[in-house]
Structure 1
């Protein structure tokens, strides 16, 4: 299979949907697309002075509307671990539909998102209006500064901030970046780990436009990491332990299949920050060899 062309982070994005099956194509054309775009446009006209509770309710309603239309079979596990917050929520990242599922948690939250998403058609004005936090992962120092300052303001306002430690939706083999752990230490916040599996089957963007109805998704909340542990513990040990626990939950036999990254199928995503978890050594070696060749101009 020829891998998809790798986009540049600064290139404009076109959003395509290809529902799988004749009935799904008809349902999405007649009901789904109008419903989603109408709801997005309404959200984009929301007041710029929404309270925490108003933003929470608006986002949850939109999430429930789309999940119900797509007939997503969402199983939420570990809700007993969810306290009052606010948290730095650290989920696995499989696809765009992660956001819809996470919004069903009983926590007011905003999201950290790649800066280019704020320029997407229809979606961009909504995430801007609702006060989500843009960062540029390809510029680590500036990205960390934006994350740190944004986290302070959002958490102080009583909302949790969701930041995906993998920073990419390539697959479960993506490594965790240190940012969320460093920020949690600096702002004195607890971390709420959340394992997700199955969302990549709902909409396969950016790898393909495939859209599917009726997909099972498991969202598993793990015990929070207290602010005290983040302050006193060894951050690298906490990062590795958390990464392994979350991926073990996503790969559990009773969970929907997780997404696995295959660069020969998915492209190498040159120009993007994409680090491979050393617990997947064969893929880590393959990616390292490709990146070295890319930098030499021989890839």
Structure 2
């Protein structure tokens, strides 16, 4: 059922207009959420204006996309470039015009985000970004790129908190697909383009990060995903920063990376004399 709906969403030839893309994606989202029996609680819809917005959403898993598509806003999504190469999924999201970036190459990733955001918002659609850049857990830090782009193009930012989506499909940590899960999506008051352009971006980023995470961790909501390196791995080689508001985990990650660098230097120190002797 899911694959059939996905194929339908990406069917056709030629460029999709804003309205057609919006309708296709909403139908796909609604049908899959109904199939999975997701109990979605949408909150804060009174904060929505006409847009378009640069949406800054918390990230727990692929199911975030299904839930965000239930907002009454035409939207596209930023996604890791590698996902555009996945079988079945890649061709469809390419056809639907979503925006690929590579977070492990900050300069190129920022350039692609900047250009893509300008074009998409200029066409009347909002663009969903995930400032954490990862689904490992709520303790991951917000990157600066979203806020820098919003300032450069004069776009308002719409903060959105999600909690519970990781229970649906906890990829890449578990292959299990779960039915009947509760999810809460909370729309927070937008940050105006004027404030983004005139305010201190670090202050805005930290305040936004804290507000979104506080909303996701509010009492009575589905539990958020928490990162545990001993269970989930340390994700060496990936861009992963820990929110300083979680100091214990931030310290563990720093200690791990320091040890990894020292081990690498020791290995290189043993190899260099051999290379010199052969030279």
Range class of TM-score, shorter chain: over 0.9
Q: CA deviation at 1:296?
A: 3.0
Per-residue CA distance 1:96-154 (angstroms, 9 max, x = gap): 10000000000000000000000111000011011100000000010000000000000
Aligned mates of 1:285, 1:48 — CA distance in 2: 51
The structure whose Rg is larger is: 2
**Matched residue, 1:210:** 176
Does residue 167 of the first structure (1) align with residue 143 of the second (2)? no
Query: Tell me, what secondary structure is at the counterpart of 1:218?
Result: strand
| RCO higher in structure (CA 8 A, sep ≥6) | 1
Contact preservation (8 Å) 1:73, 1:216: yes
Does residue 286 of the first structure (1) align with residue 252 of the second (2)? yes
Aligned positions of 1:141-156 closer than 5 A: 141-156=107-122
Q: Which of the numbers 77, 90, 104 marks the counterpart of 1:124?
A: 90
Aligned mates of 2:247, 2:263 — CA distance in 1: 24
- After superposition, the CA RMSD in angstroms is 1.1
Contact preservation (8 Å) 1:48, 1:130: no
Aligned mates of 2:249, 2:156 — CA distance in 1: 32
Structure 1's consecutive aligned runs of 4 or more residues displaced over 6 angstroms after TM superposition are none
Q: CA deviation at 1:43?
A: 2.4
Aligned mates of 1:148, 1:292 — CA distance in 2: 33
Structure 2 gaps, min length 5: 266-279
Q: CA deviation at 1:298?
A: 5.6
Q: CA deviation at 1:249?
A: 0.4
Per-residue CA distance 1:234-257 (angstroms, 9 max, x = gap): 000000000000000000002110
Does residue 272 of the first structure (1) align with residue 238 of the second (2)? yes
Give the TM-score normalised by the residue count of structure 1: 0.87
Does residue 109 of the first structure (1) align with residue 69 of the second (2)? no
**Matched residue, 2:206:** 240
Aligned mates of 1:265, 1:128 — CA distance in 2: 33
**Matched residue, 2:277:** none
Give the TM-score normalised by the residue count of structure 2: 0.93
Aligned mates of 1:68, 1:294 — CA distance in 2: 45
Counting matched residue pairs gives 265
Q: Which of the numbers 80, 88, 96 marks the counterpart of 2:54?
A: 88
**Matched residue, 1:99:** 65
